[in-house]
Amino acid sequence: MVGGFFGAIADDFTGATDLAGLLARSGQPVSLRMGVPEGGDAGAFEVIALKIRTVPVDQAVAQVLAAVDWLQARGVQRFFWKYCSTFDSTDRGNIGPVAEAIMERLDVRQTIYCPAFPENGRSVFMGNLFVGQQPLAESPMKDHPLTPMRDSNLMRLLRPQVSGDLALIDRLTVAQGPEALRAALDATDAAHVIVDAVADDDLRVIAAACRDDVLMTGGSAVAMPLPGLYGAAGLVDAVARVGFDLPQGPALVLSGSCSAMTQRQVAAYAACNPCYHLDPLALDRDGVQPVIDWLAAQQGAPLVSATASPDAVRAAQDALGRARAGQLVEDTLVAIAVSQRELGVRRFVVAGGETSGAVTQALGVTRLDVGPEIAPGVPWCAADSDGVRVALALKSGNFGAADFFARALA
């Protein structure tokens, strides 16, 4: 069973839609799968979304290798391991252990790491990751409730996660072009090579230098040039740009992210639209029914938000426990999504990687058709959900401008 050429595996659902949207800019049809498929054929460009960013390492590795096996069985020749552009992980993983497991399965000696996404303010310089003008460890990511990023240096972040040697190729080499970068990669014996990128031109250089690599890893942006490079080399067929029909109908916004940008987006949207702010302590006491009752009385496109400040998140975690507080919110947003679909909602805008994964799974979505981008890395997608066609916009917490929710629904 063949048909595939490029197969990507993403560690969360928003990251997968981010990557699929950037690949689709090429005009190539992109198939986005939610979880490892069961059988079926593959298109030339496949993206498999997993929900493994914070699960135990052995579980993450097992799911990724199942995805690799599915892709290999369908003729895929180029693989991409996609993680967040802010390198969300802990000392245990999961970025490094998954990369090494894929390398072993594919018999790959070396791979690169490049989480840069300049269009969204993520850059890597001298091995250090920046969010805008701030080092990662000084950005709001230092207070992430699941993966607090307290170091900006990718060499130090990756070192405890892998067993192989590390190397850095800085921007001085990248600026010399694909041939110089390829020579530098071939000259090092390191298995894990971090590559600087501060601008889109750097990403094009990296993609060109690594076009023939069996495995690349990074954020979504370094993969964006690949369809064009593959087409120019005759590795994939050129195709006419495909059309996209966006399902229409009532809309709902769900926000589980607590990122600084999502906090701004929630505030901007709530200023002009009905908004219900979820309190984990109230959910523990009263359950989801008060939220369902509130939604029944709303007009337009209401917002249900668990977005809160780091201090509020910590207070809820202290009172209920980290796992309990997070599970209450996730279960509530899932129950709301399913109940509102049954009542006729057909467009869902979801903020936050963990929330997007939980909602998409609860809606029974297994495959998404990728449409136009609302903002860089955030496309509208269409999918079948329990016999009806729905539209989904799955937004990583830090992506989009302050008016993202209103722009999406416009």
Per-residue pLDDT tens for 221-231?
A: 999 999 999 99
Q: Using an 8 Å Cβ cutoff, are 33 and 366 in contact?
A: yes
Residue-wise pLDDT for 90-140, tens only, equals: 999 999 999 999 999 999 999 999 999 999 999 999 999 999 999 999 998
Q: How far apart are CA 190 and CA 169, in angstroms?
A: 11
Average pLDDT, the chain: 94
For residue 386, the tally of other CB atoms under 10 A from its CB is 11
Q: Of 114-118, 172-176, 218-222, 351-355, which gets the smallest average pLDDT?
A: 351-355
CA angle, 184 as apex, 83 and 82 as ends, to 5°?
10
pLDDT at 390 over 60: yes
CA atoms within 13 A on the CB side of 289: 3
Q: Of 199-208, 241-250, 345-354, which gets the smallest average pLDDT?
A: 241-250
Largest CA distance in the chain: 65
Domains of the chain: 6-232 (3.40.50.10840), 251-409 (3.40.980.20)
- The two tokens of residue 19 are 């990557």
Counting every residue written for the chain, the total comes to 410
Confidence at 1, pLDDT banded by 50, 70, 90? very low
CA-nearest of 216, 229, 226, 155 to 9 is 216
Residue 24, amino acid: A
pLDDT at 409 over 70: yes
pTM over 0.75: yes
325 φ, ψ (degrees, to nearest 5): -60, -45
Confidence at 241, pLDDT banded by 50, 70, 90? low
Residue-wise pLDDT for 203-220, tens only, equals: 999 999 999 999 999 999
Beta pairing, strands 192-195 & 45-49: unpaired
Higher-confidence residue of 10 and 3: namely 10
Q: How are the residues of the chain apportioned to helix, strand and coil, as percentages rounded to the nearest 5?
A: 40, 20, 35
For residue 408, the SS3 value is helix
For residue 293, the tally of other CB atoms under 10 A from its CB is 9
Q: What is the pLDDT of residue 294?
A: 98
Q: How far apart are CA 105 and CA 67, in angstroms?
A: 11
Share of the chain above pLDDT 90, in %: 86
Confidence at 371, pLDDT banded by 50, 70, 90? confident
Q: What is the pLDDT of residue 322?
A: 86
CA-nearest of 45, 47, 42 to 15 is 47
Residue-wise pLDDT for 179-194, tens only, equals: 999 999 999 999 999 9
Confidence at 242, pLDDT banded by 50, 70, 90? low
Q: Of 95-99, 111-115, 250-254, 357-361, which gets the smallest average pLDDT?
A: 357-361
Q: What is the pLDDT of residue 382?
A: 94
Q: Of 179-193, 232-246, 305-319, 364-378, which gets the smallest average pLDDT?
A: 232-246
Confidence at 372, pLDDT banded by 50, 70, 90? confident
Q: What is the pLDDT of residue 2?
A: 52
Q: Using an 8 Å Cβ cutoff, are 258 and 138 in contact?
A: no
Residue-wise pLDDT for 69-103, tens only, equals: 999 999 999 999 999 999 999 999 999 999 999 99
